[in-house]
Amino acid sequence: MATKHHHLSDYDSNTVPDASNMRFAIVVSEWNGEITSKLKEGVYHTLLKFGAKKENIIIVSVPGSFELIFAAKRIIQNIHPDAVIGLGCVIRGDTPHFEYVCAGVTQGFAQLNATGDVPCIFGLLTDNTMQQSIDRSGGILGNKGDEAAITAIKMAKFACDFK
């Protein structure tokens, strides 16, 4: 569904499982930090809202969005969370760098999900303009972080149900 027709922070709270016994890792890109910090806040507060304990939320920073993949993999191997949430923001520029980074991160998270047992949530904004990123990180379209947190809780429950 296109974001244009869907507020990112809208969800039915009755469909969200209790997160009180779940552990989460949030991996945040420092690049475009004014955006990713707002995404992180959205994730953190939404996890707490649904019962996650502060001590069960690990937050790690990496330099850029491409590094989210490596960090997620290492966190899974060493910390064993119930879900990992990768947060980044890539804004289209004048070179093909945007396409390479977006495709690489997308493929990396897809591979982690296809080959692993821990859900890795794709919270990467891939916008054409800074304004679009602002709108999706707590602006007029809500916060993609809220959506990523809800997805993490639901997928952690799903993974637990099928162990």
**8 Å CB contact between 105 and 66:** yes
Q: Single out the residue of 157, 142, 132 nearest to residue 23, CA to CA.
A: 157
| Amino acid identity, position 157 | K
Q: Which residues, 6+ apart, have CB-to-CB distance to 92 below 8 Å?
A: 98, 127, 128, 129
In the three-class reduction of DSSP (H, G, I as helix; E, B as strand; rest coil), residue 129 is classed as coil
Q: What is the DSSP letter of 79?
A: T
97 in catalytic set: yes
Backbone φ and ψ for 83, nearest 5 degrees, come out as -160, 150
Q: In what order do the strands lie in the sheet with 24-29?
A: 57-62, 24-29, 83-91, 120-127
Residues annotated as catalytic are 97
